[in-house]
């Protein structure tokens, strides 16, 4: 992946994607994200009784004239939100890592061009910070270079551990995009619950390889886990292969159910799709903003 994300061709595709995103979103993906904290924003939120010390400029004089009540107008605080890109770099993502980085690059590119704060994390058996939160278009180049350096390593993906570490390092709530295949032996439910409990807006992008969905080898084999290296000898029959495909389907259906229950946006795709199509489709469906608006 050396140089793939910083090549002029890729940059041009990102730029095109950014323009398309603006057209698709119509400016909705602004950095101004409404906060439940009320303060000096521009969006009216509520009235409150005046107390000494409050800003005179907030007194609604019309209400005073009409009802003889001294009330002040409250406005929602507009604050910049950090986009946490959690890219699964465990060994199970070896075949999917390029596509995952491309998608992450596109999302990060769009976010930075919209003055969002973007942070990048590698997700394995633990969370590894790859790019500290920062904003501004100037960080695009750093983001892309960092993504280019990604390589699959580490042991089993531990989503819960990663979620805990993210929360411990970044107390401020933000938008968390998890790009992974979600093949986690310990499961994904607790990790996603943890992230939502921590106040993050979570979006899951499940990236799969077509070979992950079925099992074509029959007979004796030394089944090896790509992440831990564990292996065991098995004789796999056609029935086993069918049951495996069914188990994969159930696993993915469980993820979908879990996300739906927690009002988490989910998009599942495979590596055959181009990254810009994935991102554009994601934006068209309002995946990233839907959750935000819902929570707002």
Partner 1 sequence: MGGSLGKMVAVTFLSPAFLWSLALLLPLAALFLIRVKPRARPTTAYFLWERLKPENRPSHLLRRLRDLFSLLLLAAAVTAAALGLADPRGEDEADTRPLLLVIDQSASMQRRLADGRTLLDHASEAAAGWIRALRGGRQAALMSVDSDLHQQARLTAHPPELLRALDQVQPGGLPLDEAVLAEFAETALASEESRVLFFTDAAKNPSLPEGLECIAVGPAGERPGNAGLVAADLAPSLTLNGAATLLARLVHDFPQAVTGRLELSRRDEAGGESLIRVLPLRLEPGQPRRLVEEVPEAEPGRWVLRWRPDAGADALALDDAVDLVLPAPRPVRVAVTGVEPFFAQQAVRAFASERGTLQVVTDAAQADVILSIGELAAEPAPGPARLIFRPEGDSPWWAEAPGAELDTPLPLLLEPEHPLLRFLDAASWDFRGARHLRPPAGSLVLARQEGDETPLIYLARRDGSRVAVVNLDPVASGFYLSPAFPVLVRNAALALAGRDETLPPQLRLGQRLVLPTEIPGEADRWTLETPAGAVKARAGAVVRVHDAGFYALPEADWTAGAALLAAGESISVGAAEKGALSPQPAGLGGRPWAWWLGLLAVGVITLESMLYHRRRVG
Please pick, from the candidates 24, 228, 256, 280, the single residue that binds partner 1 as defined by CB under 8 A: 228
Are 178 and 287 in contact by the 8 Å Cβ rule? The answer is no
Indicate which single residue of 37, 115, 137, 231 sits in contact with partner 1 (rule: CB under 8 A). 231
Among 30, 40, 168, 230, binds partner 1 (CB under 8 A): 230
232 near partner 1 (CB under 8 A): yes
Q: Residue 154: which region, alpha, beta or left (left: phi > 0; alpha: psi -120 to 50)?
A: left
Q: Total residues at the site for partner 1 (CB under 8 A)?
A: 35
The answer to the question of residue 19 lying near partner 1 (CB under 8 A) is no
Position 296 contacts partner 1 (CB under 8 A): no
> How is 31-58 classified by DSSP, letter by letter?
S-EEEEEEEEEEEEEEEEE--TTS-GGG
Q: Does 158 bind partner 1 (CB under 8 A)?
A: no
- When asked if residue 227 is in the footprint of partner 1 (CB under 8 A), the reply is yes
CB 192 within 8 A of CB 264: yes
272 belongs to the binding site for partner 1 (CB under 8 A): no
Q: What is the distance between the alpha carbons of residues 105 and 95, in angstroms, rounded to a whole number?
A: 17
Binding to partner 1 in span 200-219, by CB under 8 A: 209, 212, 215, 217-219
- What Rg do the C-alpha atoms of the chain give, in angstroms? 23
Q: Residue 157 has which token pair? A: 């993906």
Q: Residue 233 interacts with partner 1 (CB under 8 A)?
A: yes
Binding range to partner 1, per CB under 8 A, among 20-28, 111-119, 192-200, 225-233: 225-233
132 contacts: CB under 8 Å, gap ≥ 6? 119
Q: Which two tokens mark 205?
A: 């992008």
Q: Which residue has the tokens 């098995």?
A: 234
Spatial separation of the C-alpha atoms in residues 36 and 1, rounded to whole Å: 41
Counting contacts by CB under 8 A, is residue 151 touching partner 1?
no
Q: Which is nearer to partner 1, 59 or 236 (CB)?
A: 236
Establish if 253 lies at the interface with partner 1 (CB under 8 A): no
Which residues contact partner 1 by CB under 8 A?
92, 181, 183, 185, 209, 212, 215, 217-228, 230-238, 240-241, 243-244, 247-248, 251
């Amino acid at each position: 992946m050396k140089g793939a994300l910083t090549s002029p061709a890729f940059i041009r595709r990102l730029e095109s994607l950014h323009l398309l995103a603006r057209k698709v979103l119509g400016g909705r993906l602004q950095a101004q994200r409404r906060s439940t904290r009320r303060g000096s924003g521009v969006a009216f939120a509520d009235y409150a009784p005046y107390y000494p010390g409050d800003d005179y400029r907030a007194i609604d004089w019309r209400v005073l004239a009409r009802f003889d009540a001294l009330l002040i107008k409250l406005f929602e605080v507009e604050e910049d939100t950090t986009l946490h890109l959690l890219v699964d770099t465990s060994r199970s993502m070896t075949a999917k890592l390029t596509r995952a980085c491309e998608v992450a690059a596109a999302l990060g590119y769009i976010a930075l061009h919209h003055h969002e704060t973007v942070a990048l994390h590698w997700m394995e058996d633990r969370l590894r910070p790859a790019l500290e939160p920062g904003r501004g278009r100037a960080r695009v180049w750093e983001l892309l270079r960092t993504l280019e350096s990604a390589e699959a390593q580490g042991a089993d993906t531990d989503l819960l551990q990663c979620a805990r570490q993210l929360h411990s390092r970044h107390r401020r709530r933000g938008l968390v995009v998890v790009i992974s295949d979600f093949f986690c032996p310990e499961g994904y439910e607790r990790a996603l619950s943890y992230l939502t409990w921590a106040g993050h807006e979570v979006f899951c992008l499940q990236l799969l390889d077509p070979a992950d969905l079925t099992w074509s080898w029959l007979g004796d084999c030394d089944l090896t886990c790509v992440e831990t290296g564990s292996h065991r000898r098995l004789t796999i029959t056609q029935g086993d292969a069918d049951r495996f495909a069914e188990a994969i389907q159930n696993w993915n259906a469980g993820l979908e159910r879990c996300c739906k229950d927690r009002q988490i946006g989910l998009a599942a795709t495979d590596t055959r799709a181009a990254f810009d199509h994935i991102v554009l489709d994601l934006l068209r469906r309002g995946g990233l903003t839907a959750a935000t608006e819902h929570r707002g």
